[in-house]
Each structure stands twice: as C-alpha cells, then as structure tokens.
C-alpha cells in the first residue's frame, strides 16, 4: 500500500526543521523534503547573536546541526529531492520530485527566500566574511568600522539608519541618481551625519584574502572605476547588500495566494488559501525575517496541521 504521510514539509531551514520537530513530537508521520542541504540561509552565517539561547558555538552550521539532531530524535524522515510538481487542492496532497512522489494529509511550505545578489566578482566568496545581506543579524559586528550599503529602496535606507548606530560611517551606494525609498525615510538618512551617498554607481568587484579588504566601483554614467580600500588600521570594511530578496515560491504560483512580490499569504495560524496547506518562514508575507520568527512560524504551522488532521481525518 502506498504510504501517505500526515505532514510533508517542503524546505529544511529553521522554519521547516521547527515544524518537523513539533510534528514529530506530536507523533505525526512526518517527512521533510529539501532540495540541497538542511539549514537554508543560516548555514552561511558565521555568528548568531540574536537567537535566544544561542551562546555556546553560536554559528549557523552549529545551530542547524543541533536542530537536525532534535528532529531526527523524534523519528522524522528527511529526504533530499527537488519538488517539480504539486497537487494541493485534493484532500490528499501530492508533491512530485525528481526522485519520487509523496502523498500527505497536510503540507507545510517552508521554502524560504534568497537575497538578490549583486552578481559582482568576489561577492559569493566573501559572503559572511564582510559581505552581509542582513543588518539585524550582522550590524553589531561592524562596531566602529566603515560600512557600505548597496541599494536605494526602503530596506536599504532603513537598514543604513540601523547600521549607523554601530558603524563609524555608512555610505549608501546606489545605481541611480536618487533614492527610491519613501520620502520620510530619505529625510532621516539625509539628516544623519554618519550617512554619505555615492550616486549612479554599481559594484563591479569585491576583493580580499578571506575578508573584505577593497571593492571596485563603476560610475554608470562615465564608466570611470575607482577602488575603495579598507582603512589601514581596520584592515577591512562591511558591505551590506540590500537590493531585495527572492522568495522561493515559483512552484506554487497560481495555486497558493501570494502578494505582488511572490511571498505566500498566510494568516496568524499559518493557513494559506488552501485547506490543509500551511506556510512558514521567510517565504511568508511578514514584517520580520529572522531565525526566531521562522522557528515560531514552523511551530505554529505544525500545531495547526495536527488540528487540521484531527478535524478532517477523524484521528
């Protein structure tokens, strides 16, 4: 007889693992599917200071390893497979991957979001080594250092204001000649003595031996290039890339309701517009995307999935 899981969780970042932990503890027959490796974005984070209790070995990989160990201890199945096709409207949900087909009474979508990259040479190599995509996570590490924020929208300017509480100086580098952020946010940035601006400019290359030491900027109007070099005493500077995130929700377009940016819409109980389908983590429309909110989403989604199964399958 073909197996039908109680819960299939798509994604194994903090949201998916938290959902798996709660589902496993509830003795639900649970499967977590991940296309690559467990952890999501957090496995590229060297230090985590803002996750409660993460004091000893506070690195992304160590935190995820502990989460995975917890999930495994409750008998949750984990498989590596990339999902290519879904049927979520029927009572028994079906997700199909490269390696197999999986049936479930409920599904939790925890596919996350990825930062939009600049595409500059050296960017990937120096991510987590001076290049960051999260001011809330990493701004404190740049206390009294120079920081460059790449972008000109609401997030870039808001995060620049936040980073200015820590950094010696913040320079916003924007590819246009004016900011796209709301006027009220712009006014705060222009009034901040610690924030400067470089206009009509893009990052061509980020350089450094294991840490950000310099970057090459290119003026989009003149084509002129110049190299920004770290202060000799500091030996490094920070680069915060704030040009947007890409929710990993393409598979669900046309099936699950989303906002205009592709984030899945869920209520406070993580319900989507489809009965028995829940959402958790960074792929969800919400105001704060952090490990702590992802794990909260995961816990809620699993508890709600348990209630859904009890009410709809008589268990």
What are the catalytic residues? 134, 137-138
Q: In angstroms, rounded to a whole number, what is the distance separating the alpha carbons of residues 20 and 209?
A: 39
Encode 194-254 in three state secondary structure. CEEEECCEEEEEEECCCCCCEEEEEECCCCCEEEEECCCCCCCCEEEECCCEEECCHHHCC
Give the chain's count of helices (H) and strands (E): 6, 17
DSSP code of residue 102: E
Q: In angstroms, rounded to a whole number, what is the distance separating the alpha carbons of residues 137 and 175?
A: 25
Q: What are phi and psi of 108, to 5 degrees?
A: -115, 120
Q: In angstroms, rounded to a whole number, what is the distance separating the alpha carbons of residues 293 and 295?
A: 5
């Amino acid at each position: 007889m073909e197996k039908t899981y109680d819960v299939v969780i798509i994604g194994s970042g903090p949201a998916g693992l938290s959902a798996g932990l709660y589902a496993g503890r509830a003795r639900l027959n649970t499967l977590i599917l991940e296309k690559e490796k467990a952890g999501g974005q957090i496995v590229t984070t060297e230090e985590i200071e803002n996750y409660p209790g993460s004091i000893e070995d506070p690195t992304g990989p160590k935190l995820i390893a502990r989460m995975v160990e917890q999930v495994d201890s409750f008998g949750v199945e984990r498989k590596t497979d990339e999902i290519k096709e879904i049927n979520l409207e029927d009572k028994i949900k079906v997700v199909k991957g490269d390696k197999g087909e999986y049936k479930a009474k409920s599904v939790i979508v925890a596919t996350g979001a990825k930062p939009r990259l600049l595409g500059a040479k050296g960017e990937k190599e120096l991510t987590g080594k001076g290049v960051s995509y999260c001011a809330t996570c990493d701004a404190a590490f740049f206390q009294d250092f120079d920081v460059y924020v790449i972008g000109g929208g609401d997030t870039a300017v808001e995060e620049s204001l936040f980073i200015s509480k820590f950094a010696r100086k913040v320079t916003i580098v924007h590819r246009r000649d004016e900011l796209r952020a709301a006027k009220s946010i712009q006014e705060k940035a222009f009034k901040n003595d610690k924030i400067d601006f470089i206009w009509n400019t893009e990052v061509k290359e980020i350089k450094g031996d294991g840490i950000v030491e310099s970057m090459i900027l290119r003026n989009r109007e003149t084509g002129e290039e110049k190299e920004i070099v770290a202060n000799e005493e500091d030996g490094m500077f920070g680069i915060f890339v704030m040009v947007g995130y890409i929710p990993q929700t393409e598979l669900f377009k046309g099936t699950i309701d989303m906002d205009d940016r592709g984030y899945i819409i869920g209520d406070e109980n993580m319900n989507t517009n489809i009965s028995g389908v829940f959402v958790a983590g960074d792929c969800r429309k919400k105001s704060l995307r952090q490990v702590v909110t992802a794990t909260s989403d995961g816990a809620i989604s699993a508890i709600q999935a348990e209630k859904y199964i009890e009410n709809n399958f008589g268990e």
